[in-house]
Amino acid sequence: MATVVQSSREVSKMADKGANLSEEEQTFLKEIREEREHLSREIQELRVQIADIDNELSALEEVKNEDEKQERFIQQKWKTGRARFNAKPKDGIKYLIEEGLLKETSDAIAEFLHKEDMLNMIAVGEYLGENHELNIEVLKKLVGLHKLEGLSLVQALREFLSSFHLPGEGQKIDRIMEHFAQGYCASNPTIFSNSDTCYVLAYAVIMLNTSLHNPSVKNKPTLESFIAMNRGIDNGNNLPADLLTAFFDDIRKEQFKIPGMGNLAETFFNPEKEGWLTKEGGKYKTKHRRWFILKDNILYYFKQPSDSELTGSIPLDNLSVRDVSECVFEIFAKDGVIKAWKKDSEGKVVKGDSLHYQNH
C-alpha cells in the first residue's frame, strides 16, 4: 500500500504541476483516484458502524437483567462480525469463529452466507471466488443450498447469481461458474451428459445476456448464431434446438439483472492489453491471426476487433511462458493439458486439448 500511495502522490504532483502525463500515467492516476474515493466511502461506512457499536455497548452497560445483557452482548458480537466481514470477508469469518458464533466448517459458513441478509453482496462474491480450500468447499455447499432441481439453466442462473455480487476477476468468475455447473447437473442429472456442457452453456448464456442488452455491442447476436455457437457442446452432440431457443427468448425478453454482471462487459471493453497475435495450436500446427485481449489473467481472442462473439479463451492460471525465438513466445502447461475453449471450423464450442500454444 505504501508503494501505491507514494506512486499516486508522485503522479498527483505531476498532474498539479501541469506536466504532460503519458496515457499510462493518466490511466494510473484515474485508477488511484477512483480507489481513493472507494476507500473513503468504505471508511465512512465503517465509522458509522463503529459509532453504532459504541452506542450499543454504552446502552448495554445500563442493562441490569443479566440474561438480557448476555443476549444483547451476543447480538452485538454478531453485528461486529458482519461489519468485519463487509470490510474484509476473511477477517469477519475468523472473528465469528474465534468468538464461538460460527463453526469452522464449510456447511456452517455457507449457511451463514446464504441466510444472513445484512452482508455486503460484493464481499460475499469476493469470498466465494477465492482459490483456497475452505472457500471452494463453502462455494460448493452454497450451490447446494439453492434449490436448482427442476429449474431451467436460465432460471437456475437467475436464482444463483442474484444472491451475491459476481466478482470482477475472470478467474474467480470461472471458478464460481464451474462449481455452479457441477451443482446444477447433480440436481438435474438428465439434462446434460456432463457438467462441462453445462459450464460452457452457462457462460454462453451470460455472454448472450451481455451482448443482447449492453448498448456498447452494436452487432447483436441472433438466435441462429446462438444455436450455431453451441452446436456439438454436449459431448459432441447437439442440444435440442427448442431448448436453446427457449433460453434465447427468455434472455431477450428479460435481462439478467444480476449484481456484478457489468464486470463481464467491462472485461471486453476495458482490457489490460490488446492487439493482434498469430496463434499456433499445439495439436494441429495451423496458424491463425486473431485479435487478443488480456484481462484478469485470461487471454480472450476474436477474429476481428469489432466482433461481439468470442472465438476462444485461454485461462493463464498455473501456466508458464517461454521464448521460442525472436517475437515468438509459447504458453504451456507443465502438467496436463491447457484448460481452454474455442469455436471449431463449424462454429461449435469445444474444449481445448493442447499442451501448448505459440504466439507470434
Chain center to CA of 261? 9
| AA letter at 68 | E
CB 112, CB 102: distance < 8 Å: yes
User: Please, where are the H alpha helices in the chain?
Assistant: 2-16, 23-61, 66-87, 89-98, 106-115, 121-129, 133-145, 153-161, 170-187, 195-213, 223-229, 241-253, 262-269
Find the Cα–Cα–Cα–Cα dihedral 312, 316, 322, 327, rounded to 10°: 40
Residue 95 CA to residue 281 CA, distance in Å, equals 49
Is 169 among the residues known to form the active site?
yes
221 DSSP 8-state letter: P
Cβ-contact 57, 76 below 8 angstroms: yes
Q: Nearest-CA neighbor of 204 among 153, 165, 254, 167?
A: 153
Of the residues 169, 266, 274, 330, which is catalytic? Answer: 169
Q: Cell 453482496 belongs to which residue? A: 121
Torsions phi, psi for 218 (to 5 deg): -85, -40
Residue with cell 496463434: 279
Task: Tell me the catalytic residues.
Answer: 169
